[in-house]
Amino acid sequence: MGASMSMLKGTNVPVPTPSVRVELGWRSGPGVPDVDASALLLVSGKVRSDADFVFYNQPAHASGAVRHDGKTPAGDGVTDTLSVDLASVEPSVETVVVAASADGGNFGQVPGLYVRILDMANGAELARFDSQDATVETAFVLGELYRRQGAWKFRAVGQGYDSGLEGLARDFGISVDEPQQPAQAHAQPPAQPTQAPAQPLQAAPPQPPQAPPAPAATPVRLTKITLTKEAPSVSLAKQGGTTGTMRVNLNWEVRKQFKGWGAKLGRAVAMHSDLDLDLCALYELTDGRKGVVQALGNAFGSLHQPPYIHLDGDDRTGAVSTGENLTINLDHKDKLRRVIIFVAVYEGARSFADLHATVTLQPQHGAPIDFSLDECTVPSTVASLALITNEDGDLTVRREARYLVPERGVSPQRTIDYAYGWGMNWTPGRK
């Protein structure tokens, strides 16, 4: 497939397909801020409610039409993708805005930023817009999918904000949670939103963000936490993740084998044909019971009774895998003493070499916690990802990212047990 021409700002192209994948891409490297894709569903230029904002903390729209699928490293670049099922977008929604925000810097520091619209059915590129003139902006409207006479089009926009995701969100009518003064949102009586005339997106330079029209019951949280070697731990209570469930996701991509958009399909193909990674957890409960949650031996666990950890099958349909997921019930966190989340190569690969992997822990009521695994330089078939410990009733999540090399004849599970002093008795199991 030849490289298509990049669109000029303000131009549009038809999108003649019922569902598309929106791919935001950039080149990563030292000093490059992390970039996050988001989408806003607009009626008359504004969201109807905070539910019309799809991003990392709110990854699926209630209509099912727009979904944030997340990041994939690809060579020296990174992509963050959204799926848009145009056929399912509610009739009243006229526009789906495709936006980006920079975390820890501005877009002047992000090389090679682009957005591509791909046909979900065959991966063909329908549109591409390269952003080339960014400076101090920390949020960007890259483009918009919009309806014209019953058909969808994509317009290249390229308008930035120096007030970050928050400024962009507020500009479209979203109320944003301010972690510094959480009480403020409840103190004011709800004001009636005023009807402002819809502004075209190519308006003059962005105005300072307006105050949100009416504080929502639970404003949108924009925070997220990335764990690093230097700052490996975080308390769940400190950022609101104390009740409900926490979803743990492992997403990976095999490097070098695939290029371009094929990498996305490649991940699913690689996974099914020659790579089987299993997400597992060793747990110890406060009553002293210990065990393992894993696909091996159908030990999938349980969410509402001990161990309050459940291994999901793939819970999304579609051509591209969203990796492996397990869920922890935080309503019973007082019953958990410690949990080690680990991943084993079940078959098809000698080690984690050439594998890019990202771990995301998403509490239902808190900021997502993510980290990537370092490059693997040893013949490892098992890696510990995160250690969750109960410290005075609060769960602390610690990034482990340790590759272990099992001794001959020792299973990956037993290798983790030895490394962390779990002390369980193991018998051979099968899948």
The model's pLDDT over 375-384, given as tens digits with 9 standing for 90+, comes to 788 888 899 9
Number of helices (H), then strands (E), belonging to the chain: the values are 4, 24
* pTM of the shown model: 0.53
Q: How far apart are CA 41 and CA 63, in angstroms?
A: 11
The model's pLDDT over 191-235, given as tens digits with 9 standing for 90+, comes to 343 333 334 344 344 444 444 444 344 566 667 788 888 778 888
Query: Residue 239's pLDDT is what?
Result: 65
Q: What angle do CA 232, 238, 244 make, to 5 degrees?
A: 100
Beta bridge partners of 54: 39
* CA dihedral sign, ordered 65, 78, 55, 174: negative
Residue 42's φ and ψ, nearest 5 degrees, are -115, 145
Q: Are 237 and 369 in contact (CB under 8 A)?
A: no
Answer yes or no: is pLDDT of 133 > 60.
yes
The model's pLDDT over 265-286, given as tens digits with 9 standing for 90+, comes to 333 333 333 567 889 999 999 9
Average pLDDT value for residue range 57-72: 89
Q: How far apart are CA 326 and CA 270, in angstroms?
A: 21
Q: How far apart are CA 391 and CA 337, in angstroms?
A: 8
Residue 86's φ and ψ, nearest 5 degrees, are -60, -35
Q: For residue 217, give every residue at least 6 positions away whose Cβ sits within 8 Å of its Cβ, in sequence order, or none.
A: none
